[in-house]
């Protein structure tokens, strides 16, 4: 290099410390020691998710902010006003530092333990709350529904929610591959003082009935049965029972709120605001665009599907079956006649026939309980600018007890951006958006928070 030239140096990123796992230690306090555990999960972005457990003080999964700089590990528990500043010792796999709370500093050494792993199907760690498999009866539908009731520790009575799933037959956990939407939300809320009842949809698991024959309106009676089941439980606060619905489940929850004995509140997770036929057509277009199909082909498929839905909605069942079967064979010349008829039958279920003409705006004038409308900005199946906007406009014309939030980067399944997913054995695992979970919890608990009264000014003599 010539004189005066300086070699450009590329900054070297700090290596990601192997912090994923459980960090356990004993904190010296006045009169003894406290066992504590900090669970650390690495995220795909290179950051970490952390949570604090102190069983003796009934602290469970306390939110913990984690910052790593070189070999320095900084932990901040805002709810407790506590900090832990430590150094990572790679040779001993230890964290050695100082615990600071309320102006008191205490030395604390944490030791690494591997995160427990699931060793077989159905194996899981026991949660820090009561969990009960339950069955409740829907006298209107003449069937029993099976589910899981989770109740926080203590005598109660606790506020409670019923979880209601989106379109399609789903189990009580809302299982989709490695993602358990309803199970994750139930766990989060129960750990924070809210009892949760989630149940298998009709015809799934141990629940009776058939989801294909149950219309959106019929599903309201399932929610009403779940609400009445909770009202009969001593540990549940009868005046604080709400419903959290996802997609179609949100519409079912809102319908239930317009009936006698409504829930105390409703949380709508990506509820639909367009008619059923508009919703299904919009979802098809979104799926085709995601597959990067030619715009001309997308428009042709849209027109074809709209024609099919018109036939289903305005033709008797035998004729509709014959016409739709013929359309499917024209679209797929190699399709066997019996296979085409079977596919057509799937498009002619009572649920679909009802949903095509379903207008979620109708009946909202009967909803008077508080409502939280949540949607993600990355929701392709129920875009907020279409669905959330329609629900918000109608509900605001009826009641002022409406809260609306759009969550950045969250999709229809309420998953955050993939950079915020957890890393398990080098693979990204989906999770329910922590931001969405906290918004839901904060809103529900805020409904019943005791507001401080203003003190009268003291007169001076």
**Each residue of 156-195: pLDDT tens digit?**
899 999 999 999 999 999 999 889 999 999 999 999 999 9
Whether 422 is in a domain gets the answer yes
Whether 8 is in a domain gets the answer no
Residues 244 and 182 in one domain: yes
Residues 282 and 415 in one domain: no
Domain interval for residue 330: 276-356
Question: What pLDDT score does 425 carry?
Answer: 61
Domain count, the chain: 3
Over residues 57-75, the mean pLDDT reads 86
Last residue of a domain, one of 62, 83, 113: 113
Whether 286 is in a domain gets the answer yes
Residues 168 and 310 in one domain: no
Residues 78 and 49 in one domain: yes
Residues 141 and 269 in one domain: yes
Residues 200 and 221 in one domain: yes
CATH number at residue 92: 2.40.128.20
CATH number at residue 401: 3.40.50.1820
Whether 1 is in a domain gets the answer no
Whether 194 is in a domain gets the answer yes
Question: What pLDDT score does 270 carry?
Answer: 97
Residues 95 and 236 in one domain: no
Over residues 147-157, the mean pLDDT reads 92
Residues 394-417 as b or e (16 or more Cβ within 10 Å = b): bbeeeeeebebbebeebbbbbbbe
CA distance 423 to 420: 9
Last residue of a domain, one of 113, 147, 163: 113
Last residue of a domain, one of 324, 356, 388: 356
Q: Is the pLDDT of residue 221 over 70?
A: yes
Please say whether the beta carbons of 209 and 203 come within 8 A. yes
Whether 140 is in a domain gets the answer yes
| Other C-beta atoms lying within 10 Å of the C-beta of residue 327 | 18
Mean pLDDT is lowest, of 32-36, 412-416, 438-442, for: 32-36
Whether 105 is in a domain gets the answer yes
Please say whether the beta carbons of 145 and 200 come within 8 A. yes
Residues 159 and 245 in one domain: yes
Between 427 and 27, name the one with better pLDDT: 27
């Amino acid at each position: 290099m010539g004189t005066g030239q300086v070699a450009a140096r590329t900054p070297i990123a700090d290596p990601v410390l192997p912090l994923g796992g459980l960090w356990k230690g004993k904190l010296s306090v006045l009169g003894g020691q406290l066992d504590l555990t900090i669970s650390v999960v690495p995220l795909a972005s290179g950051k970490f998710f952390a949570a604090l457990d102190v069983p003796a003080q009934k602290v469970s999964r306390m939110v913990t902010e984690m910052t790593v700089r070189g070999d320095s590990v900084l932990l901040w528990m805002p709810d407790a006003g506590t900090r832990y500043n430590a150094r990572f010792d790679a040779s001993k796999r230890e964290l050695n530092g100082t615990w600071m709370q309320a102006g008191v500093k205490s030395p604390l050494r944490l030791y690494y333990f591997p995160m427990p792993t699931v060793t077989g199907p159905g194996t899981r760690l026991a949660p820090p709350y009561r969990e009960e498999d339950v069955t409740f009866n829907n006298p209107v539908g003449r069937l029993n529904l099976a589910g899981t009731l989770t109740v926080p520790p203590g005598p109660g009575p606790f506020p409670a929610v019923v979880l209601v799933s989106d379109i399609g037959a789903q189990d009580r956990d809302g299982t989709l591959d490695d993602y358990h939407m309803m199970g994750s939300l139930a766990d989060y809320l129960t750990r924070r003082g809210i009892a949760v009842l989630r149940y298998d949809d009709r015809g799934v698991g141990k629940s009776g009935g058939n989801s294909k024959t149950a219309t959106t309106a019929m599903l309201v009676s399932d929610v009403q049965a779940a609400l009445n089941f909770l009202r009969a439980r001593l540990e549940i606060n009868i005046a604080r029972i709400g419903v959290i619905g996802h997609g179609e489940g949100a519409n079912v929850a809102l319908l239930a709120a317009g009936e006698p004995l409504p829930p105390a509140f409703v949380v709508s997770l990506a509820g639909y605001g367009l008619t059923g036929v508009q919703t299904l057509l919009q979802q098809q277009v979104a799926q085709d665009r995601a597959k990067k199909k030619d715009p001309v082909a997308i428009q042709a498929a849209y027109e074809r599907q709209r024609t099919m839905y018109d036939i289903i909605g305005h033709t008797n069942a035998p004729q509709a079956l014959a016409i739709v079967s013929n359309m499917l064979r024209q679209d797929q010349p190699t399709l066997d006649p019996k296979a085409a008829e079977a596919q057509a039958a799937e498009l002619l279920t009572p649920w679909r026939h009802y949903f095509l003409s379903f207008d979620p705006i109708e009946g909202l004038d009967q909803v008077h309980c508080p409502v939280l409308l949540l949607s993600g900005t990355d929701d392709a199946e129920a875009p907020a600018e279409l669905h959330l906007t329609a629900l918000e406009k109608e509900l605001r014309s009826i009641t002022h007890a409406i809260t609306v939030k759009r969550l950045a980067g969250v999709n229809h399944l309420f998953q955050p951006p993939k950079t915020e997913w957890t890393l398990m054995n080098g693979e990204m695992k989906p999770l329910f958006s922590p931001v969405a979970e906290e918004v839901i919890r904060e809103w529900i608990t805020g409904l019943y928070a005791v507001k401080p009264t203003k003190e009268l000014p003291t007169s001076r003599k």
